Structures are given as C-alpha cells and as structure tokens.
Amino acid sequence: MVLEPKFADYGTINSTGDAQPQRNSPNAFLSPDSIITTLPPLDDEESPNTSKGTAMTQGDLYQRQPLLPAPAKGDRWGQGNRPESRQQYYSASAEDDDDDALDNHESNGVIKISMPPPIREEPRFPQERWKTVIAAIVLFFSFLLTLTALAIVHEKVPDRNVVDPLPDVFLSNVPEMIWGLSVSEYMIIICVASTLIVSVLHKHRFIVFRRLFLILALLYLYRAITMFVTVLPVPSKTYYCSPKTNATSIYEVTKRVIVLFSGMGLSINGKHTYCGDYMYSGHTVILVISCLFISEYTPKKLYLVHWLYYLMALVGVIMLQLGHGHYTLDVIVAYYITTRIFWTYHTLANNSFLKQHSPNNYLGREWWYCLFLYFEGNVTGPIPRQWPNWPLPWPKRCQSKSRES
C-alpha cells in the first residue's frame, strides 16, 4: 500500500497514487489510498470511457460527494446515495444549521438590533395661556366698541311717535307680549352659564376659551358696524327708551357705555335703556353660539343634552320675537353670521393644510385669517372631546381621567 503525499491535491479528481488497490483487503473502504473500481458515475457526469468504472481515491470521493453522511451499519457507499437518504440528510442538516445560527446569535456576541415602531406624529394641543388672555382682551375691546356704537346710535333712532316700525311678517301679525323678552334673557343667562361650565371642565379649556373669545369678538365687531351704518326704527311700541340728549360728547358716551356694561347688555336688570342695536340681534348671537359650543365640546353620547340646548335656543328666539325685541331680519342675519363664522373657524382649525397660504385656500382670504393663525398656529388637529376634566387639584375624588366619546 502506497501512502499519498502530504502535498496531494484533494480538490482534483485525478488519482495521485500509482499503486493498484487490493480488492480483498478488509480496509479497502477505510484506507485513504483505497481505490474504488466499481463506483457508478453521477447523473450529471459523462460515462467513463472504460466499462470497469472510474478509479479514484477516498479524497476524490469526498470531492465528488461532500455531503454524504457517515455510512450506517450494514450500509455501503453506493447505497448512501439513494434519494430517501439524501432527503433525510438535507432535512437534518437544515435543522442543524438553524440550531447553529441560534447558538451563534446567543454566544458569539452578535448584537440584536430591534427596530422601533414607526414614529407617528400625534396632534399637539399647547395651552398657551397668554394667547387666551390676549383673546379675552380682544373680546373686551370688541364688546366695548359695540356699546360705544349703541351709545352713539341712540341719538339717531327715529322717533317712534313719528315713524312706525318697519313692516315685518312676524311682528305685524303677532301681538306684542312684553314678558317674552324677559323669558328670552333668562334663557340667555342659562346658556351662557352652561357654556362657561363646559369650557372650564374641558381638558383643553384654554383653547376652548380662546376660540370662544375670538369668535365672539368677531361677531360683536360686525354687530357694531352694522348697527352704526344703518339705524332702524324701534320695533316695539312699549319698550322703554331713555330720552335723547341731542349730544354725543365723550363724557355722555362714556357714561352710557358704563351703564350698559354694568348690565351686560340685558334689559331685565334695567340697565339697557338705550335703543338702536337691532341689526343684528345680539340675543340670537348668544343663544346660537352657546348651543354650538356645548354640542362641539361635550361627548357625542350627550346628544339629548345637545338637542335640549338647540330647543332652548329656538324657544329663546321665539320669545324674543314675541316681545318684539328685534325684527325677524335681525334674527335671520344673526343666525347666518354666527354659524358661518363658527363653522369657518373650526374648519380652519381642524385641518392643518388650511393653515397655510395657498391660491386654492379661499378660506385663507378672510380678513381675520392672520389673527386666526396667531391663535391656532400651534394646534395641529381637532380637539378631542375629553370632558369633564376637573381643573383644580382638590378635592382628590374629582381628579378622574377625562373621557372622550
């Protein structure tokens, strides 16, 4: 038996030994220089030129079939090449590879990088209390301007002893009930108190107050303009109007403004004795804006409460008309302007893409759009209906989580 040199190339299929194999040797399949004379050719190889088979070494056999498993008892090299044997071998090898990969992952110090979940930009609702204070100041000056316009217009109202009320479908056919105006103002007090409670108990109360103040400021500013440019005759024949002084000095106007402001524009306290604020109805503005804010910032499941305030607003307007406090046109215009401003403002506030100047953003052409951007620029989405939310740190039992529905 001739030993194979150390520098033999096991990667070739050519035999390097010249010695002939001993067919009867018991170690023929174990010796590295044993020669297999009856090895059948592989399927993808050409048949040998000789009919006796191909002569190759054990190393050459490993080169040709490197994945063959160790022969089992009673097995031959030729039998290990069966399809079922190959299938069992490859399936076992795949499982071993998976186990080895897991072991390497755990023991070789490989760092497992866990991918974080995708970052989702959540809406932001900053409190911005100073903006709420500024909005309150804007509302104060707008309301003051309305009272100033009324104090001046009072001197321009036509004398009802000379000029009759304008023809009106409702007022001309329904007799005046002076108590109707008082009922309407009591409903206004209830609606205003309810709106303030809803705003205070809302989680984002500063944003809600800011919107309430700014929308009311716009409405009172429009009202000051409309009542000043066109003076309508008094619709009621029994409502008391203070006598005219035929003077509009700064002192007289200031005194009237203080009297009107102390009564908050209501006649039930006896402070609203100046006439001329008809176009458009301030009573209707307060009733409509109250039910809109209550329905917008309270949970949807309180739909019965929403409908109750809608009904209360409707009854308040009807009582106002029964008392001949305003013309029907005043009520219609007040409803239209109030709802348009409220819905326009909230459409802009709830859609971030409308907070950018664009040729196609026609809502951005409102004259108060820049003012809106200042107050709403940092609010990035619709305000959730998280109500109620107790604003004070005491008592503890009131500190429950706000809910949205």
Which residues are annotated as catalytic? Answer: 283, 326, 330
Q: How many CA atoms lie within 13 A of 30 on its CB side?
A: 4
Within its chain, how far is the Cα of 172 from the centroid? 50
Gap between the Cα atoms of 197 and 199, Å rounded:
5
Encoded tokens for 81: 């090449």
- What number of other Cβ atoms are within 10 A of residue 135's Cβ? 24
Encoded tokens for 253: 């106007």
Question: Hunting for tokens 């795949």 — which residue is that?
Answer: 94
Gap between the Cα atoms of 42 and 87, Å rounded:
17
H-run or E-run covering 38: strand 36-39
What are the backbone angles phi and psi of residue 30, rounded to the nearest 5°?
-105, -25
Which residues are CB-contacts of 137 (< 8 A; sequence separation ≥ 6)?
none
What number of residues does the chain have?
405
DSSP string, 216-260: HHHHHHHHHHHHHHSPPPPS-SSS--PPP-S---HHHHHHHHHHH
For the stretch 152-162, what's the b/e string if a residue is b when 16 or more beta carbons lie within 10 angstroms of its beta carbon? bbbbebeebee
Largest CA distance in the chain: 146
What are the backbone angles phi and psi of residue 386, rounded to the nearest 5°?
-90, 95
Encoded tokens for 83: 């399809």
- What number of other Cβ atoms are within 10 A of residue 357's Cβ? 10
